[in-house]
Amino acid sequence: MLKKRPKHLALHLIKLPLPGLISILHRASGLALFLALPLLLLALQYSLRSIETYTRLMDVLDHPVVRLMLLGLLWAFLHHFCAGLRYLAIDLHYVRNLKQARDSSRIVLLVSLLLTVLIGAALW
């Protein structure tokens, strides 16, 4: 048991399989949605308070950087939703082997990106 172990773990050199990447993206998207929740609630409050605050909110939301951030939040929501359905399928034993896990990871990634493009194009 005299194995030479590394003193530190080089995280940037580790190649994760796709299911591992989907897991990390699921957690990151959940964190992004949680952190954006106060701003989204504030926007909802401004949209309902009066016509003046609504028009100011619309002016802010017309900015391209804000639209890009909202598109990112849309992707975070869709990815978190699709990955959550995948984890539910895993917990219910619909996904039973490694090939199904990898295929479901690809499906989650493709569906979340496709839905983001379609909904984003409709809303832009």
- Does 111 reside within a domain? yes
- Does 3 reside within a domain? no
Q: Is the pLDDT confidence value at 6 over 70?
A: no
- Does 29 reside within a domain? yes
In this predicted model, what pLDDT tens digit does every residue of 22-61 receive, in sequence order? 999 999 999 999 999 999 999 999 999 999 999 999 999 9
Q: What is the pLDDT of residue 109?
A: 97
- Does 56 reside within a domain? yes
Tokens of 91: 């917990």
Q: What is the CATH number of the domain that holds 77?
A: 1.20.1300.10
Q: What is the pTM of this model?
A: 0.86
- Does 60 reside within a domain? yes
Structural domain tally of the chain?
Answer: 1
Parent domain of 62: 20-123
Burial track 1-27 (b if 16+ CB lie within 10 A, e otherwise): eeeeeeeeeeeeeeeeeebeebbebbe
Q: What is the pLDDT of residue 12?
A: 79
